[in-house]
Structure 1
Amino acid sequence: MKLLRYGPVGQEKPGLLDASGTIRDLSGVIPDLAGAALSAAGLAKLAALDPGSLPAVPGSPRLGPPTSGMKNLICIGLNYADHAAETGSPVPKEPIVFLKSLGALCGANDDVIIPKNSVKTDWEVELCIIIGTKAKCVSEAEALEHVAGYAVGNDVSEREWQIERGGAWDKGKGCDTFGPVGPWLVTKDEIPDPQNLSMYCDVDGVRMQDGSTRTMIFGVKTLVSYVSHMITLHPGDVIFTGTPPGVGLGKKPAPIFLKAGQVMKLGIQGLGEQTQKTVAYES
């Protein structure tokens, strides 16, 4: 299934994308895509529905983040061998874990705000894991039992703040709109091998990233298990799993960074596409 949330910011309703590409309203079935709705039993209930029996949503509404009620936006750094190489960094011996502010979360096609005084805002297409049930100290063998599905993410990053200003990476990761997720949650039954998905990111029509989850250092099972031993994972939580090469920071002969008025388009095989316009900060 492809599950989504549609409507104005803060007023999103749950929905389902049917086989014809029509959004079907789920608000008469569940209050939101959160909590128990993301469990195996909750997803089975939704899968048993006849999409044709659900109200069709007219037009092309805004799509919000595909889950709500999350407690954590977790990110994994330098998790692709070829990305680590382009940045001149050693391959991590254990996953590098950092957090995005929940305020960074936004819809897949929402505008991305270039922060005030930013000069090094960058893009990162990433596979996102969406947690379905509470996970605490789970084994790798158990990990996928706690996963509802996957989505496309853009781990937008301010590199000066992340790298040059001292302290944790979080400084350059948690700005408003720096976490587009979606357009929808694709349930894990539709993605039998999350470690074999092609992915890309274009900026103004130019292909910047062209990679595959095959080059991930730590896979989905490992990441869910590893993080769950440090941070209790809750339904709706999102794990950004790292990015392949081609980020602006790694461009040769000189880095390339985003300016207001540009368009990012990114996608992952089987998970859909996002398109964001960059806009200048306004107080």
Structure 2
Amino acid sequence: MKFARLGDPGKEQPAVQHGGPEGDGKWYSLAGVTSDIDGTFLETGGVEQAREALAAGTLPEITGAGALRLGAPLARPGAVVGIGLNYAGHAAESGAAIPDVPVVFLKPANTVAGPFDDAPIPPLSRKYDWEVELAVVIGRRASYLGSVDEAADAIAGYVLANDLSERDYQLPGAAGQWVKGKSLPASTPLGPWFVPAADLDASALRLRTWVNGEPRQDSSTADLIFDVPEIVHHLSQFMVLEAGDVILTGTPEGVALSGRFPYLRDGDVLELEAEGLGRQRQVLRQAAGS
């Protein structure tokens, strides 16, 4: 199955679509099942309720769905947690050592945007960068998990993410300012859809990025330094993860920080893709300063 939220910002309606060979390309309304795709929906068995209703043919088709905006497939999460330097190639191109434990940072939830929304470049930005990532969605409260198997059971599913990053804000000084470089408006496009964990093996998904049609990143989640269950288990030792929270698992090599490519500019077209999780497209627009 694929879950999405269709409509204008703030007015999205929850929807579901058959996945795999059963897919018919139609979106069906979940209005009779849930008011939104959020933590409550995930924690209270909403995915299985939707699966049963879809199989029974009781959900109405959303007419004209193709003309509707695709918003982020999850309502505003309580937390967006990022993992840095989680691919050896990206660590090398960043001039950093491969970490012994996951590098963790937080992004404000208000950075979440739709997968096809325009992406604003901050007014003072000089080094705005892209990062294609597999994002993990938590399905239940997780704290001090006892094993990676228990961590795997806490995963509701997966979504494609872009962790747009301003490197001048992120990396200056001895301590760095990761949160500053990762907190900019609309800097976390999610989607186009959410796929339940039962419907997707996320251990070896191909991730790709293009800028103005030219390839940039091309890797696989098989190359993660810390895999998804390890990340969830690790985070649960330091914070409470709640249903609907999103974890960005890191980006592979091929970003502008490498020095091999120019940073993003006004008018650039950025496209990202994750196997099984769809494709994003953002047009970069220079934001006006106040």
What is the TM-score of this pair, normalised by structure 2? 0.93
Aligned equivalent of 2:168, options 151, 154, 160: 160
Q: What secondary structure does 1:195 align onto?
A: helix
Q: Separation in 2 of the partners of 1:214 and 1:73?
A: 22
Range moving further from structure 2, 56-65 or 224-233: 56-65
- The residue aligned with 2:235 is 227
1:55-134 equivalence runs, <5 A = 55-57=60-62, 58=64, 59-134=66-141
Q: What secondary structure does 1:65 align onto?
A: coil
Q: CA deviation at 1:104?
A: 0.8
Q: CA deviation at 1:230?
A: 1.2
Query: Is 1:28 paired with 2:37?
Result: no
Range moving further from structure 2, 201-210 or 1-10: 1-10
Q: Separation in 1 of the partners of 2:40 and 2:123?
A: 39
Q: Is the 8 A contact 2:33 2:46 kept in 1?
A: no
Gaps of 5+ in 1: none
Q: Separation in 2 of the partners of 1:50 and 1:94?
A: 41
Q: CA deviation at 1:134?
A: 1.0
Identity among equivalent positions (%) equals: 40
Alpha carbon RMSD of aligned pairs, Å?
1.4
- The residue aligned with 1:54 is 59
Aligned equivalent of 1:264, options 258, 264, 270: 270
Q: Separation in 1 of the partners of 2:214 and 2:76?
A: 36
Q: What secondary structure does 2:207 align onto?
A: strand
Q: Separation in 1 of the partners of 2:151 and 2:178?
A: 26
Residue correspondences, number: 280
Q: Separation in 2 of the partners of 1:111 and 1:17?
A: 25
Gaps of 5+ in 2: none
Query: Is 1:175 paired with 2:184?
Result: yes
Once the two structures are superposed, what CA deviation does each residue of 1:200-258 show, in whole Å capped at 9, x if it has no partner?
00000000001111111000000011111112111111000000100011033xx5100
Distance 1:167 1:85, change over 3 A: closer
Q: Separation in 2 of the partners of 1:144 and 1:3?
A: 20
Q: Is the 8 A contact 2:169 2:177 kept in 1?
A: no
Q: What secondary structure does 2:53 align onto?
A: coil
Q: Is the 8 A contact 1:82 1:215 kept in 2?
A: no
Q: What secondary structure does 2:233 align onto?
A: helix
Q: CA deviation at 1:195?
A: 1.9
Q: CA deviation at 1:40?
A: 7.0
Q: CA deviation at 1:25?
A: 1.1
Q: CA deviation at 1:167?
A: 4.0
